[in-house]
Amino acid sequence: MPPVTDDLSALSDEDLEALEAEQVSEFDRLRDEGADLAVLAELAEGIDAVRAEAAARAEAAERRSQEVSALDARVHGAEEDSTTDPEVEDPDAAPGPDEDEDQEPETQDEPQAVAASARRPSTAAVARRAPRPKAEPPAVVVITAAADVPGLSTGQRVDGLQLSQGMHDRARGLNDGSPRVSVARVDQGLTHVLTDDPSHNLQVTQDLIGQPNAAALVASGGWCAPSTPIFTFFDIGDASGLIDLPTLRAVRGGVLVPSWYGFGDVDGALWNWTEAMDIDAADGSVTKPCLKIPCPTWTECRLEAEGLCVTHGNLADRAFPELTRHFLNVVMNAHAHRVSASKMSKIVSDATAVVPDASMLTSDAAGDLLGVIALAAADVRSQYRAGTGRSVDVLLPDWTIEMLRADVAKRAGVDLLSVTDAQVVGWLTSRNVRPQFLSDYQPLYGTAPATRWPASIEVTAFVTGAYVVADGGSIDLGVVRDSTLNATNDFTAAWSEQFFCVTQVGPNARKYVVPINVDGVTGCCDTAAA
């Protein structure tokens, strides 16, 4: 496993490859488990960074290999074309002063002790054999056809005339409001490409202008360089703490829900028969009652829409994609919380208000709150003769766990300083309730930072499944391009509509307001109460 480090450049190529594989595996696992969008986005950013580092290394290695080859050619000379006669000289080259001397045949009287290879070539000979400086080849522009262009196959190279004809033929099949379609792709053959890496950009600039020394580009005095921009954004919003309700599909404009029946609605069907009643029944004065099943009343729930729409500029999206991703992530999270709050308000606003008796509120915050929740769940089961194992949903603000942890940490004589989330949830689930800690239910932050825990907390309880969501599906058009926005070089970066309604199919919810004192003073030790 690669070492843990924030500096990717410190990792070896093998460690970098192993890190990418590990992060991709972790992304797949979290995606399959339904992790939050923000968590997946953060992990994807990390994978992009690892791949960018690997790509930069590969590019640097390729660039070094090309530079070594160029230096090798300067030192050893360019390989001569086997089809060219080495004796044929450049007709435009001026003869040097030693040219005739170089062409003199060796005489037999030359001392044999001097080897032929030891003869020093003249300046003209070196100049003739030196590699000629090569001009930068011009960029080759290649135009290839896109898919579904009449008369052209996908990927076919086309000229200007074919491109014009293809655009004309493709446009004839479009209506106003149709999204932008691709006709061709133009590859300009550019070899000097700038990236987010300042050192790479400096090297590209030097290669392009032929400047071998970076120090010659700037004068002394100060940094003489602009600050490096950080294009990544800090993400903090999470799509968590959302309400969870059973959901059914609504294929029309709404749903009709029949009334439900409890024990109190069927009393007329139940009777007791004694011997005396049986004797009296002989003359028909007493009969056994029978209840005819009544038709239910129907409640209509019409769908409503929650949507979002974001437009963006084509140029900004192309030059600053990090901005697009960050902003859309924030919008999607805000949309999820808005939908959750809307569903929650349908339940809370119609809930029956219940005031806990003062005798229930003689302990600390943990004791009082857990006591009221246990009473509410037991009373609901008692009213409808449900079994003790029947689940009851309890809606609580998402700061409840932290509040209870802070309260029990103050209890004297007990080491409860390291209470975990699982322990707090366990206090509730052991009472056969299903807690939902909601971000948009009584938010802790108001118009200013909180300086103390609230003086009270609201709890909404209902039989699990008593409320359901009728979901009409969502229309998610994603990216949209139309003629109006094209005129301003803009596009719709995100568009979504979600249709739903919350309907009641069971007993009405109950709402309790519980005063809380986060002081750890329990009923047994409160001398003031005594």
Report the amino acid identity of residue 148: D
**How confident is the model at residue 135, as a pLDDT?**
52
Written as six digits, the tokens of 75 are: 């030192």
**How confident is the model at residue 114, as a pLDDT?**
42
Question: Residue 113: is it exposed, middle or buried by C-beta count within 10 angstroms (0-12/13-18/19+)?
Answer: exposed
**How confident is the model at residue 460, as a pLDDT?**
97
Mutual orientation of helices 400-408 and 365-383 as an angle, nearest 10°?
Answer: 130
**How confident is the model at residue 62, as a pLDDT?**
87
CB 505 within 8 A of CB 306: no
Give the integer Cα–Cα distance in Å for 398 and 134. Answer: 69
**How confident is the model at residue 191, as a pLDDT?**
67
Written as six digits, the tokens of 236 are: 């903090």
DSSP-H helix ranges across 289-388? 314-319, 321-349, 365-383
CB 388 within 8 A of CB 381: yes
Question: Residue 266: is it exposed, middle or buried by C-beta count within 10 angstroms (0-12/13-18/19+)?
Answer: exposed
Question: Residue 500: is it exposed, middle or buried by C-beta count within 10 angstroms (0-12/13-18/19+)?
Answer: buried
CB 373 within 8 A of CB 361: no
pLDDT beneath 50: ranges in the chain = 1, 3-4, 80-91, 93-94, 97-123, 126-127, 133, 214-219, 526-530
Domain boundaries, the chain: 141-168+184-230, 300-525
CB 285 within 8 A of CB 461: no
pTM of the model: 0.62
Give the integer Cα–Cα distance in Å for 335 and 329. Answer: 10
